């Protein structure tokens, strides 16, 4: 069903569509669906109900090798990399059109697979997926090199060329969107791709590969291997014929990816890892209610399963009480756990029961270490992996809930006295993905933009942006830059040609 029709559907219509959904469980290699070589399977579960959705083909190192070989052949014979730029552009534009036409099916796959509210898929994820593919397609004929000034009998050219086979490992919190943030710029630059989706939510990525071929993409150019991170993901990162690996996920696994690069062929590594983003709310904020609303959306949106979630709210002590009251009002009226197939639901379940257990352990740590529980801290009566939105107050930056990435609907208010302390607390973290700043003073805002150690800083807003905005972190949040023209360029490497003539 076309994306334009989806906002009009009600819960009963979504449930009916879900009941008729056909699930593809195989791998996609060299332009076709195939079973895993050793016949292994793993279950993917609907976290809203606890029911098994499907038993997926479990790719292993042998399947990764098969996919990489297909991608390497496709790159070497030039069926994609040597296409005229406008020809690649046309295929990616058709790819975007097909995603838009099949948006209903793709939206359901992510909602059923990881619990994301269907309203988020319709209003955020799918529109951004289509926009990303189209933006990257439009970048293709904008990639250029340069000619330098040299002696008269020399022509020096700097060319940009694709790496070859790019391995992509995408996360489960935005299964479709985060995969497209990787594959679209890699393909736009002329590379071939092997994608290993997160095993917790693999269903939509398989369909992406099918749509790419349906759009005219040559076989072998885009391959998808489902499997576990410790087997298929590791095999992809270690493969000697993979020229670049792009990973989004935990900092812990990101460090392993760096090791695998060194243990194999020193492949290029692009990492977008964890975060513990601060939202600094100063006493001179012009609209405290707006700041509190944005802060609540910044931690409870997508169930808090967001790498740049603004989970550390660093609030001037003079306004902390009023901020908490306003924050609570938004949270308790807007973020009520519910059925993700209901368009009115803004908070679904966490991705797995195991992950819910991890989040609840963090909540218990917050209680144990002395933070004051304002609301939440428990689970609703439901068979699914739900956690109620939770807020702690009077937290200290040394507490576990303020240091470690929880990846769930848990926020902490850290009171501070003035700007200098706010900056110190904000930067006192191993992460540096994003930050929010709320102030009415331009000088203060500019100082914060310069001094906060993060790859993205929002001023008087949070989690906004468009395709021109590089998204990525500092420190242990990684080194990649997603979205933006820079992302396409990052999937190319330079070649210097020194030509003596005459």
Other C-beta atoms lying within 10 Å of the C-beta of residue 344: 12
- Give the three-state DSSP class for 343: coil
Half-sphere exposure of 192 (CA within 13 A, CB side): 33
Q: How far are the Cα atoms of 7, 198, 205, 489 from residue 102, in angstroms, in the given order?
A: 14, 21, 13, 29
Backbone angles phi and psi of 151, in degrees to 5: -65, 160
Residue 52, classified by CB atoms within 10 Å of its CB into exposed (0-12), middle (13-18) or buried (19+), is: exposed
Give the chain's end-to-end CA distance (angstroms, integer).
Answer: 62
What is the rounded distance in angstroms from the CA atom of residue 13 to the CA atom of residue 107? 13
Choose among 192, 202, 174, 195: nearest CA to 237.
195
Is 363 in a helix, a strand, or coil? Answer: helix
For the question of residue 272 being annotated catalytic, the response is yes
Q: Which tokens is 333 given?
A: 């009226």
Q: How far is CA 415 from CA 62, 282, 373, in A?
A: 53, 10, 15
58, 272, 305, 405: the active-site residue: 272
What CA–CA distance (Å, rounded) separates 46 from 324?
34
- One DSSP character per residue, 246-306 reads EEES-HHHHHHHHHHHHHTT--EEEEE-----EEEE-TT-S-HHHHHHHHHHHHHGGGG--
Of 331, 59, 309, 365, residue with least CA distance to 173: 309
Token pair recorded at residue 433: 């993905």
* Structure tokens belonging to residue 20: 């008729």
Alpha-carbon distance 13 to 356, whole Å? 29
Q: Which residues are known to be catalytic?
A: 272
């Amino acid at each position: 069903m076309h994306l334009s029709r989806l906002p009009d559907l009600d819960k009963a219509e979504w449930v009916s569509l879900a009941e008729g959904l056909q699930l593809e469980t195989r791998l996609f290699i060299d332009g076709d669906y195939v079973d895993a070589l050793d016949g292994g399977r793993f279950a993917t579960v609907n976290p809203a109900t606890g029911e098994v959705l499907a038993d997926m083909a479990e790719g292993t190192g042998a399947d990764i090798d098969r996919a990489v070989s297909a991608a390497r052949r496709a790159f070497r014979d030039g069926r994609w990399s040597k296409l005229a730029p406008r020809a690649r552009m046309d295929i990616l534009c058709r790819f975007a059109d097909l995603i838009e036409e099949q948006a209903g099916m793709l939206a359901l796959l992510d909602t059923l697979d990881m619990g994301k509210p269907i309203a988020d898929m319709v209003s955020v994820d799918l529109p951004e997926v289509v926009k990303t593919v189209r933006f990257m397609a439009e970048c293709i004929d904008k990639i250029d090199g340069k000619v330098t000034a040299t002696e008269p009998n020399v022509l020096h050219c700097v060319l940009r060329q694709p790496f070859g086979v790019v391995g992509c490992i995408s996360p489960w919190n935005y299964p479709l969107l985060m995969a497209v943030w990787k594959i679209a710029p890699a393909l736009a630059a002329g590379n071939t791709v092997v994608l290993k989706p997160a095993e917790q939510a693999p269903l939509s990525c398989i369909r992406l590969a099918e749509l790419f071929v349906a759009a005219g993409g040559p076989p072998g150019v885009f391959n998808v291997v489902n499997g576990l991170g410790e087997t298929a993901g590791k095999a992809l990162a270690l493969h000697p014929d993979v020229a670049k690996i792009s990973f989004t996920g935990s900092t812990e696994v990101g460090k392993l990816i760096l090791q695998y690069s060194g243990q194999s062929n020193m492949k290029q590594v692009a990492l977008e890892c964890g975060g513990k983003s601060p939202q600094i709310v100063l006493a001179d904020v012009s609209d405290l209610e707006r700041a509190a609303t944005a802060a609540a959306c910044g931690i409870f949106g997508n169930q808090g399963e967001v790498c740049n979630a603004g989970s550390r709210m660093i609030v001037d002590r003079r306004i902390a009480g009023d901020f908490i009251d306003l924050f609570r009002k938004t949270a308790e009226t807007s973020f009520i756990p519910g059925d993700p197939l209901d368009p009115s639901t803004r908070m679904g379940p966490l991705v797995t029961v195991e992950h819910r257990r991890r989040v609840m352990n963090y909540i218990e740590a917050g209680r144990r270490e002395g933070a004051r529980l304002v609301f939440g801290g428990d689970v609703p009566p439901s068979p699914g992996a739900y956690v109620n939105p939770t807020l702690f107050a009077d937290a200290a930056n040394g507490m576990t809930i303020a240091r470690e990435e929880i990846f769930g609907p848990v926020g902490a208010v850290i009171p501070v006295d003035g700007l200098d302390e706010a900056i110190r607390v904000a930067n006192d973290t191993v992460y540096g993905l994003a930050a929010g700043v709320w102030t009415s003073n331009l000088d203060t805002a500019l100082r914060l933009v310069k001094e906060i150690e993060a790859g993205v800083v929002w001023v008087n807003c949070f989690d906004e942006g468009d395709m021109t905005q590089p998204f990525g972190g500092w420190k242990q949040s990684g080194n990649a830059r997603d979205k933006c023209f820079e992302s396409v360029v990052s999937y190319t490497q330079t070649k210097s040609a020194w030509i003596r003539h005459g």
